[in-house]
A and B are shown apart, each in its own frame.
Chain A
Amino acid sequence: MMEKMIFGRFLPGDSPIHKLDPRSKLIFVFAFIVIVFLANNVVTYAMLLTFTLLIVLVSRIRLYFLINGLKPVLFLMVFTFLIHIFMTKGGAEVFHWKSITIYEDGIRQGIFISTRFLVLVFMTSILTLTTSPISITDGIEVLLNPLKKIKVPVHELALMMSISLRFIPTLMDETDKIMKAQMARGSDLSSGPIGERIKAVVPLLVPLFVSAFKRAEDLATAMEVRGYRGGEGRTRYRQLKWDMSDTFALVLLAVMAIILFYYRG
């Protein structure tokens, strides 16, 4: 179950979006998050939505996965939509019943905000669905490289991230094993009042931590023996390649931003 949560995210493929450099995708998504806030009327929101759907089409990701990604924020979307419907006043009255009045502006604002959520979630989901976690780590490392000048340990952070990613499945297996071992000894993890269940987690966490520390120590020894001594003088096996298509994607986004700026109310 947990494996699905984390690893169901990356869908290998060979669409043009999959082939983009992780750096350009990261820049694209962050810039897009800013650009979304430029939209403020029907035309601009319609443009944003079309733009997003076009990208979904190009990425060849089934809508099912994107809608799945929407689930955690669905409550927030519905909630803000309702708040806007009932609270925003202005424009013509659409509906009136006792003390409840719904205005045209409220409906419009509600739809706008929901659309904003939708495009943001779709865009970020496309990033994680088309880029492997390790590529994202590589991209972040290279993009943050300038921060080395102000002594941010960029290489170390990236290495920590990639080792964590590497050990997630290993520790999951371990948790599973410990869980079964404790169940075999009669511990009940899945029923009873919430307080009891939280207490039942302790005999899971303690052995997990002990083994994680043991693993960390072994790994450190293995790394040292294999000549690891920090980022200094290291070469990279994973090469990132910036293509024409990466430049094109960013230019496209810039054009989109200019158009949005022009048409916004």
Chain B
Amino acid sequence: MQHAPAVVADGLTKRYGARTVVDDVSFEIAEGEAFALLGPNGAGKSTTVEMLEGFRVPTSGTARVLGADPQRADRDWRSRIGVVLQPTGQAGALTVREMLTHLARVFPNARDVDETIEAVGLAEHASRRIGSRSGGQQRRVDVALGIIGRPEVLFLDEPTTGFDPQARRAFWQLIRDVAADGTTILLTTHYLEEAEQLAHRAGIIADGRLLALDEVDRIGGAESRTPVVRWTDASGRHEVRTREPASVVRSLPGEPTDLEVIRPSLEDVYLSLIGAVEAEEAAA
């Protein structure tokens, strides 16, 4: 029997008055898959994820996570979900270990507390009060709180915002480990590299609309990945899209200046998609 997808967004739409924040977004995430929602700030990523977490009510469309409507979900459902919200800062007089020990008692299938603290790289900070730690360390506490319950589905909203590059790499390894345990992951990020590093598939979202949805190395369609050959000769700058860039280069007469062969990266694809939306908005 085919497993049902772990996460389904079907025509999810969220309007506040006349403003449409999320506009007919649909995707599915298979069990055990890591999926990234990629887009600039204010694109509607968090709102989409919050509808799937049960924290926002969709104006229309359906959200299903582990087969249940997040709006009607019970405690058993909650115990199978891990949530890392957008960073808000951590208040608190509790130490890292006290906080995690408490939540480990709330979840029925919790991870080992010290193992989790170790995994997020906070072993030296375990006995320090959360409120006294740096922003990046508090963010790692957030991540620890998200995974302490050994979730089947983990939502990560902008998990590495404010991390230095080293902390970001350590975090990526942590998420790969969590994914290797079979956890389904939905990650929002505005870092392309993060999506490339962590996700099997990605959706690109801008202005509330899902612009592209595919495997990370195929996103934007084959056409957008076609190599581009550019050169300059006496008649000016030329650009040719071709699947056979070597032949094109060989056929060029003489020695053109500024000869380039470009294989568009995810970044180029992303920027062209986002650019199109911005141009459209400027025209409107």
Answer yes or no: do A and B interact: no
